[in-house]
Chain A
Amino acid sequence: MELLMSIVVGVFFMVGTYLLMTRSLIRIVIGVNILSHATHLLLLTMAGLKTGAPPLLNRGEEAFTDPLPQALILTAIVISFGVTAFTIVLAYRTYKVHRTDDLEQLRGSRE
């Protein structure tokens, strides 16, 4: 299971990086989003996948799954939601002001 997850994470990183290298603003936003999903999956996989019962005490279970990575990912997902919303608005405003979403054409003058 860990192996499969690692491959998925790798593919996500590849797709995210590819999209990050493109010239269109919205593709970059999507690329960033996919990268952040890849990182969340990596965090889950690295900490070890489900190895026991849910972490509830006094139920006679012996082995528990580590709840910490899930708490970490929950926080990280919320943060990446916020950031994604911000980048989408920023990309939209940039498009409205400059009338293009092509990064090549955005280069140039200081003003």
Chain B
Amino acid sequence: MNSLVIVPVVLPAIIGAILIFFARFQKVQRVISAITMISLLIVSIWLAIEVYNNGIMTIALGDWEAPYGIPLVADMFATVMLLLSAIVGVCCLFFAFRTIHPSREKFYFYPFYFFLLVGVNGSFLTGDLFNLFVFFEVMLIASYILIVHGGSGYQLRESFKYVVINIFSSMFFLAGIAYLYAATGTLNIADLGVRVAELGQDGVLNVVAVVLLFVFAMKGALFPLYFWLPDSYTGPPAAIAALFGGLLTKVGIYAIIRMFTVVFNHDPTFTHNLILFVAGATMFFGVLGAVAQFNFKRILSYHIISQVGYMVMGLGIFTPLAVAGAIYYIVHHIIVKTALFLFAGISEKITGTNELKQMGGLLKTHPAFAWLFFITAISLAGIPPLSGFFSKFPLILSGMQEERYLITAVSLIVGLLTLYSMIKIFSYAFWGRQKHTEAQAKIKTGSLLVSIAPLVVLTIALGLFAEPIFSYSLEIAEELLEPSVYIESVLEE
């Protein structure tokens, strides 16, 4: 049964390699990738149920036992992330079928789509720090290619920065691994948890913790390392931007949460207060960027930054309620942000631009699109009964309980500014005088909306069924804050 854990990593890798041979046959590529993506979704659901019922599943690759070999570990947190990556993968893939340009489609779009998922799923599942680096690289190389895919001048210029920044941070990751190996003599995450507890988290290990925080903060676009994100996420087509906006930064956040709950949890007054400060600054400066912009995709990109701050804030407060809030927020954010980027793709397809000042009157010509967007937008801003409210509420509640008033105040202000900038999009793009031509007004969006509709339904469902989902994330949080369960199930196997 445990071999189920390896499927989300191996399946996309094999299919990605097979798809390379069918690069010239669009129909075949589409059929194969659709079947694979849906089976990945089924496997993820199955794995999530299996882990929920029977506890953590581990598999030792090559049958080398835990501290020596490389384990794949599926705990509840990892399976939830896997499930989200599969949902996002399905929606973006079906959106890509309708929107991706044939010239891009023929140049290995689908293979790299699946290689990206290999990296993402592998990062969620791995139980070894060096293996995390390898999966990060798999994911990053696929993302470099997808972000420059199509090769327009803008894409080339911005992705060069993206590539260099990410290589730089990967080198720092490797340096952090070197220091950690020198200090503890192991790289297995569970074993690291034991060794760091034995050694005591003093000066040296705090330095390593900060180096790793720096690295993951770069990947996760935290303050002050978010400058690369808005430019590089504006370039590629909507299906790719949505996949990136939904998933990629969250891999960095996942790694931060994993490392700072299992390994570096012994000196929270230093590390977690640092994280809390970073979270506050990330939220605030991210949303300021969003308020200042007048470009649809750039506003959404800046929102990624500000909302990543909320997730890290949950980790920084470091109580079960706060961490549960962070997990709820990750779930909510991945779904909503993917949907919003796909909506940006639709509006670009209709009006041919992303500049809000050149748009207007979409509500009249495309009412279904406009109302679906409206639901998602107010969900992002945190209006109850939608998921955005229930994901912010536990964070703010726990901030109050722990008497962290400053960060709570910042998060409330950021919520208001988020609402303001979403309203700005709505009033410029959907209200007002119609600025697109009659021919553009007749463009059908029905088939595109079908691929986004599941995400909108999910954000409503996450709000309406907040109680079971919140108790699920509370269970995940308790599991995270009790790392001995994770450590034992890896080392005992």
Residues of A within 8 A of B (CB): 20, 25, 28, 32, 35-36, 38-40, 42-43, 45-48, 68-69, 72, 75-76, 79, 82-83, 86-87, 90-91, 93-94, 97-98, 106, 110-111
Contact = CB atoms under 8 A, between A and B. Distances in A.
Contact of A97 (B133, B141, B144, B153): B153
Interface residues of B, number: 30
B296 to A, nearest CB: 13
Interface of B: 130, 133-134, 137, 141, 144-145, 148, 151-154, 156-157, 159-160, 163-164, 167-168, 170-171, 174-175, 177-179, 181-182, 187
Contact of B163 (A43, A86, A106): A86
Given A86-B145, A90-B160, A90-B163, 9 more contacts: A32-B171, A36-B167, A39-B174, A40-B174, A47-B181, A83-B137, A83-B141, A91-B160, A97-B156
A20 B161 CA distance: 11
Given A90-B148, A93-B151, A32 B157 contact: no
A87 B164 contact: yes
Given A32-B167, A32-B168, A39-B174, A93 B156 contact: yes
Contacts of B156: 90, 93-94, 97-98
B118 to A, nearest CB: 14
B388 to A, nearest CB: 30
Q: Is the interface of A mostly helix, strand, loop or mixed?
A: helix
A46 B141 contact: no
Nearest to A43: B178
A25 B152 CA distance: 18
20 contacts: A20-B164, A42-B178, A43-B175, A43-B178, A46-B178, A47-B181, A47-B182, A72-B177, A75-B134, A76-B174, A79-B137, A82-B141, A87-B167, A91-B160, A93-B156, A97-B151, A98-B156, A106-B157, A110-B154, A111-B152
A77 to B, nearest CB: 11
Contacts of A76: 133, 174
Contacts of A47: 178, 181-182
Given A47-B181, A98-B156, A35 B168 contact: yes
B168 A39 contact: no
Nearest to B134: A75
A47 B184 CA distance: 10
A69 B154 CA distance: 40
A25 B178 contact: no
A51 B163 CA distance: 38
Contact of A86 (B133, B144, B168, B187): B144
Nearest to B157: A106
B71 to A, nearest CB: 15
